[in-house]
Amino acid sequence: MSNVTRFESEGQRRLRDISESENVEFGTDAPYHLGKVGFSLVGFASLPVVVFVGHCPSVEAFVPVARQHMLRACKAAGLDTSALTLKPMVGAWRKQKFVDENKSSKSFGKNKIASRLIVSLEITRPEEVAAYRAALPKVYL
């Protein structure tokens, strides 16, 4: 058993279970565009992370949706999601045009402009890095 699962609180365990569930959908009325989930090494330390790139004007509204999308994609690929941290690293890049994919948004299907957001979850168990690298496409940031 890893340190992450051993010291994971009950609240974190519930958040992970809810995020992976197909029955619960985190939602927002903010316009967003969902990109693809991939694997990358980031920073000077080359931290292994699962990366998700998308667009949204609100970081707070986008992070729960992105986390859920990432955990579901990893679970669908047959990966052990307990190796991922639940607290994401978020980076914002320059604003870009995108088409709103959020069906709950008033501007669904319309062109919008917002920051390109990069959400990443660190892979905390070294023994799982090879499985993630093999199962997910490489993302170059």
Would 67 be classed as within a structural domain? yes
Would 86 be classed as within a structural domain? yes
Would 114 be classed as within a structural domain? yes
In tens, the pLDDT along 5-36 reads: 455 677 777 887 877 877 777 788 999 999 98
User: Over the chain, what is the mean pLDDT?
Assistant: 88
Mean pLDDT on 51-73:
92
CA pair distance 21, 25, nearest whole angstrom: 8
pLDDT at residue 5 in the model: 47
Would 27 be classed as within a structural domain? yes
Mean pLDDT on 90-99:
92
Would 140 be classed as within a structural domain? no
Q: Is the pLDDT of residue 4 over 60?
A: no
Mean pLDDT on 78-83:
91
Domain count, the chain: 1
Q: How many residues does this entry show for the chain?
A: 141
Count CB-CB contacts under 10 A for residue 126: 10
Q: Are 133 and 50 in contact (CB under 8 A)?
A: no
Burial of 79 (0-12, 13-18, 19+ CB in 10 A): buried
Would 141 be classed as within a structural domain? no
CA pair distance 135, 138, nearest whole angstrom: 9
The verdict on pTM exceeding 0.85 is no
- Which range marks the domain in which residue 9 is found? 3-135
pLDDT at residue 22 in the model: 74
